[in-house]
Structure 1
Amino acid sequence: MNIDLLTGFVRDIRSARRAANEFERLNRMNSTELAQLGLDRTEISSYAFNKHFNKR
């Protein structure tokens, strides 16, 4: 197995865990707290995904 492929796979797993944790953290916030971050409840999943996957 190619080491770069394995490294990428592990990195994706870490990113997925971080995105899931971010989603859970934001989902526990109320609307006022989310607004202070510039977020609406409907944007939580895309924000968490983009934060941890699109930074590459």
Structure 2
Amino acid sequence: MAFDLLTGFVRDFRASRRVAGEIARLNHMNTAQLADLGLERSDITNHAFRKHYGRR
């Protein structure tokens, strides 16, 4: 059980790092590039979380 808790923590930590990287990458894009992806600047955080955590 402790091992499952630890592996879950590591998995979530890695996902949080991917989310942060995705947010940084998208924040560096201009409005036209975001629009090509079907995103607005206000959608970036939600998009990154959905991408890396699933249905959140």
Superposed structure 1 runs of 4+ greater than 4 Å apart: none
Matched, 1:14 2:11: no
Structure 1 vs Structure 2 CA RMSD: 1.2
Structure showing greater relative contact order (alpha-carbon pairs closer than 8 Å, 6 or more residues apart):
1
Identity over the aligned pairs, expressed in percent? 56
Q: What TM-score results when the alignment is normalised by the length of structure 2?
A: 0.93
Q: What TM-score results when the alignment is normalised by the length of structure 1?
A: 0.93
The residue number in structure 2 matching 1:30 is 30
Point out where structure 1 has 5 or more consecutive residues left out of the alignment. Answer: none
Point out where structure 2 has 5 or more consecutive residues left out of the alignment. Answer: none
